[in-house]
Amino acid sequence: MKGENPTDTLDALVVMDPESENQENTFSKSSTTQLGDLASQPNEEKGESNLDLDPFQGIGGDSDINSETLSGTIGEIGSYELTFPQISDTPADFAINGAIQSVADKIYLNFAAELAEMINEGTPMGSSDLVGEGRIIFNNGYLLSVLFEGSTDWGGAASQQLWADSIMVDLSNGQVLTSENLFQLEISTDWKELLAEKSYDLLIERLGSEMIWNEGLLPTGENFNNMLVTQPGLLIIFDQYQVAAGVAGTPTVIIPWVEIAAIINPQSRIGELVIAGGSLEIN
């Protein structure tokens, strides 16, 4: 689904009455904006504000950013609106934009699949609404970090579900960068254990020890699969209810680079950007 409108997959995911199968899907583009215009602080309704995340730090390059929206309805049972950035004037615009849009596609398709499951199980429900936004929080001309945040109001549910997703892209070729591109995987210090330890300390500092759930901080790849490079350090985003009660939203921590420099792989593409290339200073 990378870079494509997910309209064609909707019928395969959502089974509805012929009378209610009135589905619309739109894909629109707004006017071109500069990067700083998209770097507003997250709304409190989307969870805990990233108080230590300055989106203007580390921004570089002269690329223009377009804001695009994936929106529509799924019969009478759901609506969705996902806004996300698209970049221009890079060597790999098509691949980069396809990678970013693929996150919006995934979020939409998961929403549609959940609705289909509810219908197949006969769950009584009203109309459900998905809203979210992807925004660039780091761009040094070589590496792009995009954070998606939003909420889902499920029909018939008493509470709002908050969610977050992320993607890092190499601006030279559109490659999606993962933890395997960031850490040294064959050293004595396991990167997951170090991230778990640092995250635990930062979460206690922010939320208090009585709020933290240890199970969501176990050093597994699944618990630490949502991370982004930023200027001050490695941003880690946790799902709602993963490490704390739902009132905490989608908690985040930023681990300073100096505290995890030992596990960064300088030979990897992202390691070159972070350390060897001097994009981020670790001293």
Q: Where in the chain is the domain with CATH 3.90.640.20?
A: 180-276
Cα–Cα distance for residue pair 181/58, rounded to 1 Å: 20
Contact 127/86 with Cβ under 8 angstroms?
A: no
User: Is pLDDT at 84 greater than 90 in this prediction?
Assistant: yes
Q: Which band of pLDDT confidence, cut at 50, 70 and 90, is reported for residue 17?
A: very low
Domain 6-177 has CATH 3.30.565.40: yes
What CATH class is the domain 180-276? alpha beta
**Kind of pairing between the strands at 233-237 and 227-229:** antiparallel
Q: What six digits make up the tokens of 150?
A: 């939003």
Average pLDDT for residues 143-152, to the nearest whole number?
95
pTM (predicted TM-score): 0.77
Average pLDDT for residues 177-203, to the nearest whole number?
86
Cα–Cα–Cα angle for 280, 260, 35, rounded to 5 degrees: 35
Cβ-count burial of 96 within 10 angstroms (0-12 exposed, 13-18 middle, 19+ buried)? buried
Cα–Cα distance for residue pair 142/149, rounded to 1 Å: 23
φ, ψ dihedrals at 232, nearest 5° = -75, -20
For 36-59, the pLDDT digits (tens) are 332 333 333 333 444 444 443 444
Cα–Cα distance for residue pair 97/138, rounded to 1 Å: 16
User: For the chain, how many residues are written?
Assistant: 283
Contact 140/106 with Cβ under 8 angstroms?
A: no
